[in-house]
Amino acid sequence: MINENFLKLQAGYLFPEISRRIRSFQAQNPDAKIISLGIGDVTQPLAPAVLEAMKKAVDDMGSETGFHGYGPERGYDFLIEAIIENDFKPRSVDLDKSEIFISDGAKCDTANIQEVFGVDNVIAVTDPVYPVYVDTNVMAGRTGQANENGQYDKIVYMPCTAENDFTPELPSSPVDIIYLCFPNNPTGAVVTKEILSKWVDFAHGNKAIILFDAAYEAFITDRQIPHSIYEVEGAKEVAIEFRSFSKTAGFTGLRCAFTVVPKQVRAYAKDGGAVEVNSLWSRRHSTKFNGASYISQAGAAAVYSPDGKKQTRRIIDIYMANAALIRESLTKLGYGVFGGVNAPYIWMKTPKGLSSWDFFDILLQKANVVGTPGVGFGRAGEGYFRLTAFGKPADVKEAMERFAAI
């Protein structure tokens, strides 16, 4: 017997559907040189310090003494320690090694974390939202059927539009789990400490847990914007944070990320007893996962070396220059443009009230440029369109010229 919840899922996960349309267009137009500013994938070669560390790791694997078999499921101390020292200590966030779980991706972690919570939990997500948060809860049976807008019964959707500056309102009905992502994918919005504080207070007041996706924190340029939710007082009791090397250091093809689960985070059993979420996640992690690749972890640790820091910073600067170019070009052309200042995503209004998918098709056909339809991220994303700053600079420049010629 199948898991019937899978039958509730709406047609095709967003990116496979985009791939299908691109393949179909390319088959009919074999000479078209398509530029993708769609899926959020990096394009710059890895930092030399990372390459060097990985080559050394490969050498290790070929020697009697350096060979590494199964690593610790939670990851190697050399990486965990570098993370604590570099990502958190400078922001006055103290973490213990047992609070960090290295993994093979933030997609996997944000997909899997729901397993430690009951199926009766009510989840709240922003709208638009990264589809993985929603789909994994559908699969787990935490939702009812979808309505004609693709919204599932039992999920609390928090609309984020230009009208509220892409900042969600606190839910008015009780919720157990809140997914927040800042800098946001797909809107590129960020929040201040003050706003995050409201969420932390809400979680405290409602015995709710915040799942904070900080995969894009490295792109923050404004010094006032927090990189970690733990910069907010009281967050350690109510928040789990997800980080990744994918965008920070170009690791999308290498697979290395991590999740922070402070020991203080508690969830409750039906009998009212408090349970450490850290120990639940630890059990899940050690039962269903077998550690990230040693080579990827060695590469990730090198991101924190003095050279690694400089080199990865330089790569991020390239992407943020792309973001600035996209913002300026589209603004000049009269489009409504958001994001792209503290995030690698630019969120634009479609022109002339076009639907997101209609604009996708027009852009693909007329400019041979691929973006992501806003409605693919949720109902409130209808009429918006996402562009990413991860292209090669020459491609981004050309894409902007083609936009101008539409």
To a second copy, the closest distance from the beta carbon of 161 in angstroms equals: 26
Residue 41 phi/psi, 5° resolution? -110, 140
Of 213-221, 279-287, 311-319, 323-331, which segment contacts a second copy by CB under 8 A?
Answer: 279-287
- Near a second copy by CB under 8 A: residue from 115, 153, 317, 401: 115
| Alpha-helix runs per DSSP H in 161-305 | 193-206, 245-248, 277-288, 294-302
The residue among 127, 128, 168, 120 whose CA lies nearest residue 144 is 120
How would you class 246 by CB atoms within 10 Å of its CB: exposed for 0-12, middle for 13-18, buried for 19 or more? buried
- Near a second copy by CB under 8 A: residue from 101, 242, 294, 360: 294
Q: Is 205 near a second copy (CB under 8 A)?
A: no
Nearer to a second copy, 140 or 323 (CB): 140
Of 90-98, 111-119, 321-329, 376-384, which segment contacts a second copy by CB under 8 A?
Answer: 111-119
- Which residue has 């050309």 as its token pair? 398
- Near a second copy by CB under 8 A: residue from 139, 324, 333, 362: 139
91-110: which residues touch a second copy (CB under 8 A)? 104-105, 107-108
To a second copy, the closest distance from the beta carbon of 64 in angstroms equals: 6
To a second copy, the closest distance from the beta carbon of 398 in angstroms equals: 16
The residue among 314, 323, 327, 189 whose CA lies nearest residue 250 is 314
Of 78-86, 275-283, 308-316, 398-406, which segment contacts a second copy by CB under 8 A?
Answer: 275-283
Q: Is 277 near a second copy (CB under 8 A)?
A: yes
387-406: which residues touch a second copy (CB under 8 A)? 392
Q: Which residues contact 49 (CB under 8 A, 6 or more apart)?
A: 302, 303, 305, 307, 308, 311
Tokens linked to 146:
């979808």
Nearer to a second copy, 111 or 333 (CB): 111
Nearer to a second copy, 214 or 225 (CB): 214
Residue 59 phi/psi, 5° resolution? -60, -45
Give the C-alpha separation, 266 to 288, whole Å: 22
Helices 393-405/306-332 angle, 10° precision: 10
Using CB under 8 A as the binding criterion, the count of chain residues that bind a second copy stands at 77
The residue among 257, 331, 254 whose CA lies nearest residue 296 is 254
- Near a second copy by CB under 8 A: residue from 2, 90, 148, 405: 2
Give the C-alpha separation, 357 to 49, whole Å: 41
Q: Is 112 near a second copy (CB under 8 A)?
A: yes
Q: Is 333 near a second copy (CB under 8 A)?
A: no
The residue among 220, 223, 209 whose CA lies nearest residue 340 is 220
Q: Is 87 near a second copy (CB under 8 A)?
A: no
To a second copy, the closest distance from the beta carbon of 361 in angstroms equals: 23
Give the C-alpha separation, 17 to 6, whole Å: 17
Nearer to a second copy, 112 or 192 (CB): 112
Tokens linked to 20:
């299908």
Q: How far is CA 27 from the centre of its chain?
A: 31
Contact 136, 161 (CB under 8 A): no
The residue among 58, 48, 45, 64 whose CA lies nearest residue 295 is 58
- Near a second copy by CB under 8 A: residue from 89, 97, 253, 310: 253
What single-letter amino acid sits at 354?
L
Q: Is 310 near a second copy (CB under 8 A)?
A: no
Give the C-alpha separation, 99 to 315, whole Å: 29
Give the C-alpha separation, 331 to 320, whole Å: 16
Q: Is 318 near a second copy (CB under 8 A)?
A: no
Q: Is 4 near a second copy (CB under 8 A)?
A: yes
Nearer to a second copy, 71 or 150 (CB): 71
15-74: which residues touch a second copy (CB under 8 A)? 16, 39, 41-46, 48, 51, 54-55, 58-59, 61-64, 67-71
Q: Is 305 near a second copy (CB under 8 A)?
A: no
To a second copy, the closest distance from the beta carbon of 56 in angstroms equals: 10
Of 156-164, 189-197, 291-299, 334-342, which segment contacts a second copy by CB under 8 A?
Answer: 291-299
159-198: which residues touch a second copy (CB under 8 A)? 176
Q: Is 236 near a second copy (CB under 8 A)?
A: no
